[in-house]
Amino acid sequence: MRQDYTIRFAHALPSWPTDRRWLLAFAILLLAACSSAPRRPERTFKDSHSSLANLPARAPSTANTGTANDVLFRAIALVGTPYRWGGNTPSGGFDCSGLVDYIYRNAADMLLPHSSREMAAMNGEKVQQMTDLASGDLVFFGGGGGISHVGVYVGKGRFVHAPNSGGTVRLDDIDGPYWRDHFIYGKRLLD
């Protein structure tokens, strides 16, 4: 009786080569599932289509070229940092004025107010035309209600800013469709 049970049980099990094929098929499916492409993160910069990209790069003055370079490199290094209203550190995130203050405080040893309107009221040369901007200039945007946004011009028609809730610090064309229409002026603090 015991012998019959063993024989019946042995016939109920699949053979070893069949088990290996199933195991191999399972491993292949598992690896295929694990190798699917991850979701792409939001792009923090886009290829430039700025009409200003072919203008020669300019610094505010020869005396401040090093500081202007520090400002622009610090600004570009922060691209991708999360936006946070009222934020002013890389670990806590940035809003637009907190970003500009952080850049100038760390790269140029200048303390700026934490409001785009107050920054616009600071002493400094106003730059009315986008074509006259120099690396490191503050750039102000707004509409009928006055100034509502600030960023740092980094040259070649691009600026770094913290645009909105839920986004990240970005590098954008200053003469892109939205920004061109809302540009008010630049402010040169490094001369």
In this structure, the answer to whether residues 88 and 150 fall within a common structural domain is: yes
Instruction: Count Cβ atoms below 10 Å from residue 177 Cβ, excluding itself.
Output: 8
Which listed residue (34, 49, 149, 182) is catalytic?
A: 149
In the residue annotation, 96 being an active-site residue is answered as: yes
Residues 68 and 162 in one domain: yes
SS3 45: strand
* 106, 26: one domain: no
Better pLDDT: 183 or 28: 183
The domain of 75 spans: 62-188
DSSP track, 85-106: TT-EETTTEE-HHHHHHHHHHH
CATH number at residue 92: 3.90.1720.10
pLDDT band at 160 (very low <50, low <70, confident <90, very high): very high
> What pLDDT is attached to residue 36?
47
Same domain assignment for residues 29 and 82 = no
Same domain, 119 and 66: yes
Q: Are residues 68 and 160 in the same domain?
A: yes
pTM: 0.73
Tell me whether residue 8 is in a domain.
Answer: yes
- Whether residues 125 and 82 share a domain: the answer is yes
Structural domain contains residue 127 = yes
Q: Looking at the domain assignment, is residue 48 inside a domain?
A: no
CA distance 86 to 96: 9
Count structural domains, the chain. Answer: 2
Task: Please give the pLDDT value at position 17.
Answer: 60
The top-scoring range by mean pLDDT among 9-13, 32-36, 43-47 is: 43-47
Residues 23 and 78 in one domain: no
Domain assignment present for 40: no
Whether 49 is catalytic: no
In a domain, 57, yes or no: no
CA 95 to CA 86: how far, in whole Å? 6
Q: What is the Cα–Cα distance from 31 to 18, expressed in whole angstroms? A: 20
Of the listed ranges 37-46, 106-115, 180-189, the one predicted with least confidence? 37-46
Is 60 or 72 the better-scoring residue by pLDDT? Answer: 72
Considering 34, 49, 114, 161, which one is annotated as catalytic?
A: 161
> What is the model's pLDDT at position 39?
46
The active-site residue out of 34, 49, 96, 114 is 96
Residue 34 annotated among the catalytic residues of the structure: no
Residue 74 lies in a domain: yes
Write the burial class of residue 2 (CB in 10 Å: 0-12 exposed, 13-18 middle, 19+ buried).
exposed
Q: What is the crossing angle of helices 96-107 and 65-77, to 10°?
A: 130
